[in-house]
Amino acid sequence: MTQRQTQSKQYWVDEFQVEQNDLDYLYNILLERETPLSVDEMALALVRYRVLREEAALARKSYAGEVYRPDQHYEIGDEIVFSALEYCPGKVVATRSGENLDYGDFSVITVEFENAKTLDFAADFGIAHVLNVDEEDLTEAEENLLSPEDIFIEYGGYVASALQARLGDHEDLVRIAGRWFPRSLLAEINIGHLNLAEAVLDMVGGGPMLASEIVEQIGMMEELNSRLAEFSLNYGLQQDDRFDEVGPAGQVLWFLQRMEPREVQQYPERLAYTPISYDTGLLTPELLELEAEIGDEHTEVVVPRGAKPQSVVVMLTYPHRRAGTLPLSPRLSTMFPTAYETPHIYFTLVDAESGDEIPAWVVRPGGYVYGLADWFEMHDVPVGGYLTIQRTDIPGKAQINYARRKPRIEWVRTAFVENNHLRFESRKRTVGCDYDDLMIIDVDNPDDIDALWARSGERGQSLETILEDLLRQLAPLSQQGHVHAKTLYSAANLVKRCPPGPVFACLVGLPQFEQVGGPYWRLTSTKTDS
C-alpha cells in the first residue's frame, strides 16, 4: 500500500488549506443532519473527508496508468498519473529540453489533464528526488496507519484554525456561541417570540436562562425539532440588543441587558485607567518579577499557551477592594474560560469554607471580575490580602478562598485624609488573614479617599507628583527612611489608577527618586530638604 500524504505532519501543518469543496462538503453535512456543529466537530469531519478522498484516489491509481517519476523518459501520447495530485491522470502532449545548467541534461514534458489544464514536469531527471523512489519502497503496514480520529488528535488544532478563518466566507452559514448552522434552515423568530422571551427573563430577575428553558416557557415552537428551535431562538436573541449572551465556554445563557448590574455594563470608576506611556526598558529583571507577582490586569505577562493552573493566588489592591472586583490578570483569566466573543460571562464563585455561592460576572473587555463587594466586607479582607481562586470540575463555577488565620492585632500602615492631603500612620488593626506586608494599607475613611481621588483626577495630578508626595509620607514609617516599590504602587492606587509598570519606570527614570538597594527608594537629598 502506497504512503499516504494525510499520514504526514507536513500535509496538515505546512500545506493544509481549506478548499471550496471542503466548505461544500461541510455545508451538505449541516443540511443533512439539521444539527449545529462546532468548529472542532467540523474539523474532525473534514479530516475524515480528506482521508477518504485520498483512499479513493489510491483506489483509482491501480487502473489509471503509470505513476509519474522525474527520472523516467516519456514520449508524446504517454498516459501518466500523479501521486502528488491525488493520482489524477494526464497525457503527455509535448516535450522539450530543460534549460537549467545546475541540473545537467533533463527534459520537460507538458501534460494535459481531463479539464484541459496543462502543467509542465521534469523528466530524464537523474538528480535525487523523493518522487524517484519506487512505490514499493514507500509502503507502510496497514496496522501502523493513523485513523482520522488519531490524526485529529495530533493536528486537529491546525485544521480547526484554518477552518475557523474560512467558515465566515460562506454566505449561508451563521455562528451562535461557537456552533455553525445554515441560515436558510433556521426557523423564523419574530418580534412576538422576542417579546415573550424578554418577559420570561424579566420574571426570573433578568436571567440567566438557557434557550431551551425560554422555548419551553414561551410555548410557541412546539412543532419544531428541539435543537432547531433552540438554535433559531439563540440566533434571534443574538440579533436583538435587549439580550446579552453570558454563558461560559460550552454553554449559551441569556440575560436581559437592562437588568445586568451597572458595573457590568459600565466600567467602575475606581478601575478606570488612562494609559501612561513609559520606557519598558527601564525595568530591571527584579522589577519585572515584581510586576508579574502583583498581577495587575493592565500588566502584559506571557502565559504559556494551553496553561490551565488549578489555582491562582491574587493580591487584593485598593481599587478592586473598593469596587468589589478581582483583577482579570493573564493568569487569572485562565480560570474563567470562554471560547467565544462573549464580553460578559455570568459565573459562580463558591466560598471554599461555607459553600455559599456568589453570583459574579467576568467582564473581559474591562479586565475584571465583578460581584465580591459583600464577600470582601463579610470576611474583612484587607488591601494586600491573599485570595486563592481554585478551578472546579463544574463549568461556570470556581472556588474562592482567603488565607484565613486566627485574628490578631497588628500594626498596619493606615491611610487617611487631612487638609485635602493623603497621610499615613501606623495604627493597630485586627487582621484575620495572611497578607503581603509590602502591599497592605488600611483605609480610615473610604469616602474621604474617594473624594481625594476625584479631586486628584480633576486637577490632572501627575504620577510623578503623586509618588513624590507618597515618599515624603511613607518614608517616616520605616526605620531606614525608604519605601519599597510595591508599597508605592499600592499607595499610588489610592488616588490614581495605575499598573506597576509606569510606577516602577518613573522611580527608575526620574532624578528625584533614588534607589537605595534592591527595590527600595527614597527622595534625593535635594528633594527631601525642600
Whether residue 528 has pLDDT greater than 70: no
Confidence grade of residue 390 (pLDDT, cut at 50, 70, 90): very high
Residue with cell 410557541: 220
Single-letter residue type at 416 = F
pTM: 0.73
Q: Which three cell numbers stand for residue 209?
A: 436562562
Q: Which CATH number fits domain 287-405: 3.40.710.10, 2.40.40.20, 3.40.640.10, 2.40.330.10?
A: 2.40.330.10
Which residues fall within 8 angstroms of residue 64, CB to CB, at 6 or more apart?
81, 87, 89
Read off the pLDDT of residues 82-91 as tens digits, 9 standing for 90 and up: 777 767 788 8
Helix axis angle, 500-509 to 285-294, nearest 10°? 150
Residue with cell 515618599: 471
Q: What are residue 292's phi and psi, to 5 degrees?
A: -65, -35
Q: Tell me, yes or no, if the two domains 64-138 and 186-260 fold the same way.
A: no
For residue 275, how far is the Cα from the chain centroid?
22
Residue spans of beta strands (DSSP E) within 261-310 = none
Domain extents in the chain: 5-63+141-173, 64-138, 186-260, 287-405, 410-529
* C-alpha–C-alpha distance, residues 241 and 255, integer Å: 11
- So what's the pLDDT on residue 416? 95
Residue with cell 527631601: 528
**Judging by DSSP bridges, how do beta strands 66-67 and 79-82 pair with one another?**
parallel
- So what's the pLDDT on residue 223? 72
- So what's the pLDDT on residue 143? 57
Residue with cell 502591599: 439
Q: What is the mean pLDDT of the chain?
A: 87
- Is residue 463 within 8 A of residue 503, CB to CB? The reply is yes
Which residues fall within 8 angstroms of residue 483, CB to CB, at 6 or more apart?
470, 471, 474, 475, 520, 521, 522
Read off the pLDDT of residues 230-266 as tens digits, 9 standing for 90 and up: 888 999 998 899 999 998 876 889 999 999 999 999 9
- So what's the pLDDT on residue 67? 79
Which residues fall within 8 angstroms of residue 294, CB to CB, at 6 or more apart?
315, 317, 439, 486, 489, 500
Q: Which element (helix H / strand E) includes 505?
A: helix 500-509
Read off the pLDDT of residues 444-488 as tens digits, 9 standing for 90 and up: 899 999 999 999 888 888 999 999 999 999 999 998 899 999 999
Read off the pLDDT of residues 309-319 as tens digits, 9 standing for 90 and up: 889 999 999 99
Whether residue 529 has pLDDT greater than 80: no
Q: Which element (helix H / strand E) includes 325?
A: strand 325-327
* C-alpha–C-alpha distance, residues 429 and 443, integer Å: 11
* C-alpha–C-alpha distance, residues 295 and 55, integer Å: 52
Q: Which element (helix H / strand E) includes 411?
A: strand 404-418
- So what's the pLDDT on residue 335? 79
- Return the half-sphere exposure (C-beta side, CA atoms, 13 A cut-off) of residue 112: 7
The dotted CATH code for 64-138 is: 2.30.30
For the beta carbon of residue 104, count every other beta carbon within 10 angstroms: 11
Q: Which CATH number fits domain 186-260: 1.10.3470, 2.60.40, 3.30.530, 1.10.10?
A: 1.10.10
